[in-house]
Amino acid sequence: MLRILDYNTKHFALIRKIALWISAILLALAAFFLYVSNVPVDAATEEMLAVLDVLAIVFACIAPFAIAVIVTYIVLQCKQRKELLKHTNKKKVHIHVFDVINFAWMAIFCLLCVYPIVYVVVGSFNQGADYAKGGVYLLPRLFTFENYKVVLENTELYHSYLVTIGRTVIGTLSALVFTSIVAYAMSRDNLKGKNFFYWANIVTMFFGGGLVPFFLVIQSIGLFDTFWVYIIPSLYSVYNMIVISSFFKSVSNELHEAAQVDGAGEFRIWWQIYMPLSKPVLATVALWLAVGHWNSYFDTMIYTNSKDLHTLQYFLLKAIQSSTMTEGLPETMMQRVLPMTISLAAIIISIIPVLFFFPFVRKNFQSGIMIGSLKG
């Protein structure tokens, strides 16, 4: 296995990362099903115990292979680090009291940040009546799938999911293209009126018309209660334009001049030269835009009336503030679930796509942050 994963090409580096993530997920599922098969469950979940036991056995058989992949990855990382240290100056490392205190403080801070997430996950798998007892716990005291069953049977959830996915994909891509076009123009020294356009953009970052005038504009141009109210107002961001144009300015002018000599126009230069070279900063801005669209609920609340346009976050907001998801449930199920535990399950379902999306852009996101902060 070491020989299989020890190649240093980008192709095999990607394979190593994918294998690591799959192994980690399989190992987590193995631990989950082993835990569920040995923990008290409510009456409704007892019917699934036979299936859970089978899944626990299957994932327990897979777990050793997942552990082997993870250990192999760690060994390879240690080998690479050891080789890197051989070519660097070896200096004696001094551990200071400040470093110890700083590490302890950051560890406590991380635990405080992680526990709310753990609380949401644990509460979503806990029976409602037991959850109402309160207390601090790290694992479900009475395990159940009923909360997720109620959420997944709600048709409004699926529709809001589709609306949110649509606005996230379309809104992110369109805003990225539009903003990068403006950023390209603002990065060119020969743009006429560049200073005027720059300061006009800066002014809009500090002064705005307010909610009521903006609402009237949205209504007058026919965007109210339409899907495009999610897309068009967010097409352009001054801050994102500044970040992208800062990177565009760092691209060598020789590339631009060589492309012009070969007969390329400005649009072709932007699309075939600047955009491919700007993947890190574009990934950074794309992540900002995607997360903003995914988490948005305010525009749904203000600019739409139709239920067909409700986004996922607005659906969750209604579920948390009211008991809409428990309406019409049988009385026997109402004894096992609470509006809050159902809301926790819905929150977990809503963040899964973001968790899967971030690892693929993490590397470019980190480098894009540095580029945007250092290039001026």
Q: Which of 76-80, 90-94, 252-256, 325-329 has the lowest mean pLDDT?
A: 90-94
Q: Are residues 17 and 108 in the same domain?
A: no
Compute, in degrees rounded to 10, the torsion defined by CA atoms 303, 304, 309, 315: 90
Assigned domain for 95 exists:
no
Mean per-residue pLDDT, 324-328: 65
Q: Are residues 128 and 197 in the same domain?
A: no
CB-based burial, 142-155: b 16+ in 10 Å, e otherwise: bbbbbbbbbbeebe
**Between 370 and 269, the higher pLDDT residue:** 269
Amino acid at 290: A
- In this predicted structure, the answer to whether residue 313 has a pLDDT above a threshold of 60 is yes
pLDDT at 60: 77
Q: Within 13 Å and on the Cβ side, how many CA atoms surround 180?
A: 28
Assigned domain for 150 exists:
no
- Write the CATH number for 348: 1.10.3720.10
How many domains does the chain contain in total?
3
Assigned domain for 62 exists:
yes
Q: Which two tokens stand for residue 291?
A: 């997360």
- In this predicted structure, the answer to whether residue 376 has a pLDDT above a threshold of 50 is no
Q: Are residues 113 and 178 in the same domain?
A: no
d(CA 137, CA 129): 15
pLDDT at 67: 81
d(CA 62, CA 23): 9
Mean per-residue pLDDT, 207-234: 89
Assigned domain for 97 exists:
no
Mean per-residue pLDDT, 144-155: 82
Q: Which of 37-41, 68-72, 366-370 has the lowest mean pLDDT?
A: 366-370
Q: Are residues 73 and 184 in the same domain?
A: no
Assigned domain for 212 exists:
yes
Q: Are residues 247 and 356 in the same domain?
A: yes
Q: Are residues 208 and 72 in the same domain?
A: no
Assigned domain for 257 exists:
yes
Q: Are residues 138 and 164 in the same domain?
A: no
Q: What percent of the chain has pLDDT over 70?
A: 79
Amino acid at 244: I
d(CA 60, CA 66): 10
Q: Which of 146-155, 223-232, 272-281 has the lowest mean pLDDT?
A: 146-155
Q: For 233-289, how does the pLDDT look when each residue is reduced to its tens digit (9 = 90+)?
A: 999 999 999 999 988 988 888 888 888 888 888 889 999 889 988 888 888 898 889
Q: For 16-27, how does the pLDDT look when each residue is reduced to its tens digit (9 = 90+)?
A: 777 777 888 888
Q: Are residues 172 and 131 in the same domain?
A: no
pLDDT at 116: 84
Q: Are residues 213 and 318 in the same domain?
A: yes
Which of 75-89, 95-109, 291-305, 318-332 is the most confident on average?
A: 291-305
pLDDT at 122: 85
- DSSP reduced 3-state for 126: strand
CA 6 to chain centre: 30
Mean per-residue pLDDT, 74-95: 67
- In this predicted structure, the answer to whether residue 372 has a pLDDT above a threshold of 50 is no
Assigned domain for 91 exists:
no
Among the candidates 53, 85, 117, a domain finishes at 85
The pTM (predicted TM-score) of the whole model is 0.73
- Strand partners of residue 126: 143
CA distances from 369 to 29, 35, 274, 286, 289 (A): 33, 40, 18, 12, 14
- In this predicted structure, the answer to whether residue 374 has a pLDDT above a threshold of 50 is no
**Between 70 and 272, the higher pLDDT residue:** 272
- In this predicted structure, the answer to whether residue 375 has a pLDDT above a threshold of 50 is no
pLDDT grade for 228, boundaries at 50, 70 and 90: very high
Q: Which two tokens stand for residue 238?
A: 């001054």
Assigned domain for 122 exists:
yes
- DSSP reduced 3-state for 41: strand
Among the candidates 38, 59, 85, a domain finishes at 85
- In this predicted structure, the answer to whether residue 88 has a pLDDT above a threshold of 70 is no
163 and 312 in contact (C-beta within 8 Å)? yes
135 by Cβ neighbours in 10 Å (0-12 / 13-18 / 19+) ranks as exposed
- In this predicted structure, the answer to whether residue 320 has a pLDDT above a threshold of 90 is no
Q: Are residues 74 and 109 in the same domain?
A: no
Q: Are residues 162 and 139 in the same domain?
A: no
Q: What percent of the chain has pLDDT over 90?
A: 16
d(CA 266, CA 241): 18
- In this predicted structure, the answer to whether residue 108 has a pLDDT above a threshold of 80 is yes
Closest CA to 309 of 292, 325, 323, 296: 296
Which residues contact residue 142 at a Cβ distance below 8 angstroms, ignoring those fewer than 6 apart?
Answer: 40, 41, 42, 126, 127, 129, 130
pLDDT at 245: 92
Mean per-residue pLDDT, 140-166: 85
375 by Cβ neighbours in 10 Å (0-12 / 13-18 / 19+) ranks as middle
pLDDT at 233: 92
Among the candidates 59, 85, 111, a domain finishes at 85
**Between 36 and 171, the higher pLDDT residue:** 171
Structural domain boundaries enclosing 117: 102-144
Q: Are residues 288 and 318 in the same domain?
A: yes
